[in-house]
Amino acid sequence: MSPTPSRRIAHLDMDAFYASVEWLRYPQLRGLPMVIGGARRREDDLIARLKAAHPEREWTPEHLAEIPVDFFPLLRDYVGRGVITTATYPARQFGIGSAMGLMKAAKLCPQAILLPVDFEQYRKYSRMFKDTIRDIAPLMEDRGVDEVYIDFTDVPGGQRDGGRVLARLIQKSIASVTGLTCSIGVAPNKLMAKMASEFNKPNGISIVRESDLETMIWPLPCRKINGIGPKADERLQSHGVRTIGELAQRDLPWLMANFGKTYGAWLHRAAHGRDDRPVVTESEPVSMSRETTFERDLHAVHDRSTLSTIFTRLCEQVASDLARKGYVGKTIGIKLRFDDFKIMTRDQSIETHTADPKLIRQVAGLCLKRADLSRRLRLLGVRVGSLVKLDEANKSVQNPKEKTGEVLLSAPKSAAHDTLTRDLF
């Protein structure tokens, strides 16, 4: 009789994902200080400038790897209010990082190359690496564009050398399909696997066993536990608790008295490396949304046509996200951020689930009419919630004749400022 296999959970994290995807087409930028952020991609601009400077030769998107480094835009030339999505290590050394304004970053590292974000490309590579994993180990939990959990327990090779054999296979397969590297931690549960994947970055594999808790996990600062944020960490430090080992020495009643029953009990379990959460293959999204921050503040009246175009595009993007992932939703909402940074949301439910861009646009437009648009806007977002899988929605339609007709809207609440915005968007 074979013994019950021990639980082996892997956390896989792609190394410097956005930058690495960019390096696939611009290998000449590898190793340079580089920032990704700001406006949408305008690849044609780069090609147009090249054609002007080197009319003797042909420039097409296939020649991206041959673009001279000095042709790329630099952070110092940026004007606008875009923020950094990611910065490479040589750029981070100058003190810049994610979410920092590009113009502020330009003061610290003006020589950094600035690339616009290209989420379409990142998502494409995200799908590629995840499909590669699922072919090998089907129990995979999607945790975002560049990370997943994988249940190794019953997969061939998942127990050999603590999971190292399977981890190596996955790493090699991803590299050959995408050209990208990743780091993998394999441990008895998600909590420890998440920490382990950071141990050997980049392109590393770390194996953590239950017996490694004291030597490998306890010396780490509490912040390394996914779920201990800066505020909790500050509280812990004020009590003299800096490492996970020190946290493990505090007893349960003390933790519950100081951090509340639920969080205190969780801290206690986490410090002892206990975590029973399963790897969930189908993580059902609650909602899908798209939003955009404008290069300059826009006004509902004066920038009507610009806003209208952006608004329509956001609705189309959400609709295509829904369609691609096979979802339909029945709560449609908008998010606005004004020039005073205040955020406002409005939503509206409809009678049937939809992924139709026109209907989403129509209902989102009704939401907009309920908003006070006298201030300038910094950000506009569109969201579709109350999602179900498309096939489930079809199943639940009992009487198709009734439902295929016009979609019924619950009556929108009218507001005093309706006149201002009635015909906008």
Shortest distance (Å) from residue 394 CB to Mg ion: 37
CB 338 within 8 A of CB 344: yes
State which residue, 122 or 266, has the beta carbon closest to Mg ion: 122
Q: If binding is defined by CB under 5 A, does position 141 make contact with Mg ion?
A: no
Size of the site for Mg ion (CB under 5 A): 4
State which residue, 17 or 26, has the beta carbon closest to Mg ion: 17
Distance (Å, whole) CA 323 – CA 282: 17
Is 13 marked within a binding site?
A: yes
Distance (Å, whole) CA 284 – CA 5: 29
CB 145 within 8 A of CB 321: no
Shortest distance (Å) from residue 85 CB to Mg ion: 13
Shortest distance (Å) from residue 392 CB to Mg ion: 32
Q: If binding is defined by CB under 5 A, does position 22 make contact with Mg ion?
A: no
Per CB under 5 A, which region of 1-9, 142-150, 169-177, 266-274 contacts Mg ion? 142-150
Shortest distance (Å) from residue 146 CB to Mg ion: 4
State which residue, 17 or 125, has the beta carbon closest to Mg ion: 17
Shortest distance (Å) from residue 16 CB to Mg ion: 7
State which residue, 22 or 246, has the beta carbon closest to Mg ion: 22
State which residue, 36 or 46, has the beta carbon closest to Mg ion: 36
Establish whether the linkage from the previous residue to 221 is cis, with ω within 30° of 0.
Answer: no
Question: Which 3 state secondary structure label does DSSP give 106?
Answer: helix
Per CB under 5 A, which region of 145-153, 194-202, 359-367, 392-400 contacts Mg ion? 145-153
| CB-CB neighbours of 52 under 10 Å | 9
- Residue 273 burial (10 A CB sphere; 0-12, 13-18, 19+): buried
State which residue, 146 or 246, has the beta carbon closest to Mg ion: 146
85 CA to centre of own chain? 10
Per CB under 5 A, which region of 139-147, 164-172, 306-314, 411-419 contacts Mg ion? 139-147
Shortest distance (Å) from residue 97 CB to Mg ion: 14
CB 363 within 8 A of CB 350: yes
Q: If binding is defined by CB under 5 A, does position 13 make contact with Mg ion?
A: yes
Per CB under 5 A, which region of 14-22, 61-69, 135-143, 385-393 contacts Mg ion? 14-22
Shortest distance (Å) from residue 160 CB to Mg ion: 26
Task: Specify whether 147 is catalytic.
Answer: yes
Among 22, 141, 146, 151, binds Mg ion (CB under 5 A): 146
Region 186-225 residues binding Mg ion, contact defined as CB under 5 A:
none
**Where do the DSSP E strands lie in 355-421?**
377-385, 388-389
Q: String of b and e for 154-185 (b: at least 16 CB within 10 Å)?
A: ebebbbeebbeebbebbbeebeeebebbbbbb
Per CB under 5 A, which region of 10-18, 40-48, 224-232, 404-412 contacts Mg ion? 10-18
State which residue, 181 or 331, has the beta carbon closest to Mg ion: 181
Closest-CA residue to 106 (of 155, 131, 73, 138): 73
Task: Exactly one of 66, 147, 284, 402 is catalytic; name it.
Answer: 147
Is 15 marked within a binding site?
A: no
| CB-CB neighbours of 121 under 10 Å | 15
- Interface with Mg ion (CB under 5 A): 13-14, 17, 146
Q: Which residues are part of a known binding site?
A: 13, 146
- Residues assigned a catalytic role: 147
Residue ranges of the binding site for Mg(2+) = 13, 146
